Structure 1
């Protein structure tokens, strides 16, 4: 992940729930001990051997904080056409608690049931429950960032892998992987608050029109329209 502190916060919430007194049934004790002992090992494995790569999207269509942080243009996608798994980030404490309680309860009872069926042995289903808890932890974010309304695509890559690519930033190599999104998933191009916004809007409309013309020439008549949308936030120059 691009911010290990976020994952650490999520893991801390999961471990706290696992260690709570909410699950006192005796047959859950073995499952609880297994999940508590393996959670840290599993996270370390994911960071070093099977890291999670993150692509972040926002459901905030026109938020000044997002424009300031990420630039003047934004692409809006249709999530139903993107064909990738998306996970909603959780910011509010109540939402975190409910999601983690639900997932921890499911994991404890699932692991305990498998252990009983296998005469005390943990199997592949227990590992899947453990992976689910790590996945939940990766969607937990600090409440201070709730304006982002972040949605994440999370991709695990077992190293070494030829899927891994690298780019340079500030003298450091940044690993990444490529996920393809269909062109048809693009719904709109949003233009943020900027100087000469109307000129940028006119130019983008022309660019989108030329794209459509080329695709119609190549593919024939297509039922796919890309809108161009201007931000309603006023631009203030100093």
Structure 2
């Protein structure tokens, strides 16, 4: 899977071995999250009024709806994401995100045992989105006593499952991006065994401070780097070639470096 980015982020990923998951409401497509909540709430209200739920399930269901509605109104989802694509040389991605494409292993979702990290493909149509939502609803509302978490925690778990799903909902017009998201849901303690540190960074372009989660990755998580169309593509790859030379001297594996086949047009 491939992460398109700029030189600053590429430096952090390749040479510092760090990746960042940004709070979903501070990303370019934050309105898609609120749109996903709106679609899901409409569907949940239909189910709620259908008289198909047991009394216990109704209580859990209503509580989860309240949590989702509150998040929609006050912009408080606890979701952090990082985006990837299955396309490794996309002109649209180069134009949108930067000159570097970092290939990473899917094993990064297993970086921290017990944490709420998931890799999920994005969903581009409402029918699939609502079908998966119903599966998650049934998992919780049909087995409330089996899960043995207590009603209040069940509401949080259900809303968490649904928020993870909402974080994958994309407008169908962006399906060409073939997006996969690494998702981190900061469930309240003690439901989450480990709460990862939330950090903050200023965005110099928007003049807004944004929250993010930083993860240390390992050498084996890095698979390759591709340099996109650039006015000086050869120079752009030079730092990576120097890195590979040092790796060779240390008898460590080098990182495959590729150049985009798409011509640069300044």
TM-score by length of 2: 0.69
Mapped partners of 1:145, 1:87: distance in 2: 16
Q: Please provide the CA RMSD for this pair.
A: 3.5
Mapped partners of 2:48, 2:104: distance in 1: 41
Structure 1 residue 228 corresponds to structure 2 residue 254? no
2:184 to 141, 144, 155: 155
Name the SS of the counterpart of 2:151 in structure 1.
coil
Mapped partners of 2:176, 2:147: distance in 1: 46
Name the SS of the counterpart of 1:177 in structure 2.
strand
Q: Which structure shows the higher strand fraction?
A: 2
Mapped partners of 1:126, 1:37: distance in 2: 5
- Structure-2 residue corresponding to 1:62: 89
Name the SS of the counterpart of 1:167 in structure 2.
strand
Alpha-carbon shift at residue 90 of structure 1 (Å): 1.2
- Structure-2 residue corresponding to 1:41: 67
Instruction: Evaluate the alpha carbon distance shift between residue 177 and residue 109 of structure 1 in structure 2; reply closer, same or farther with a 3 A threshold.
Output: closer
Unaligned runs of 5+ in 1: none
TM-score by length of 1: 0.76
Mapped partners of 1:231, 1:178: distance in 2: 28
Mapped partners of 1:131, 1:38: distance in 2: 9
The answer (yes or no) to whether the contact 1:189–1:229 under 8 Å persists in 2 is: yes
The answer (yes or no) to whether the contact 2:79–2:186 under 8 Å persists in 1 is: yes
- How many residue pairs get aligned? The number is 224
Mapped partners of 1:123, 1:117: distance in 2: 12
Mapped partners of 2:86, 2:104: distance in 1: 10
Name the SS of the counterpart of 1:141 in structure 2.
coil
Q: Which structure shows the higher helix fraction?
A: 1
Name the SS of the counterpart of 1:86 in structure 2.
strand
Q: Tell me the alpha carbon deviations over residues 135-182 of structure 1, each in whole angstroms, 9 at most, x when there is no partner.
A: 1111101112222222222223479x8822222224322222211221
Please identify the structure whose Cα radius of gyration is greater: 1
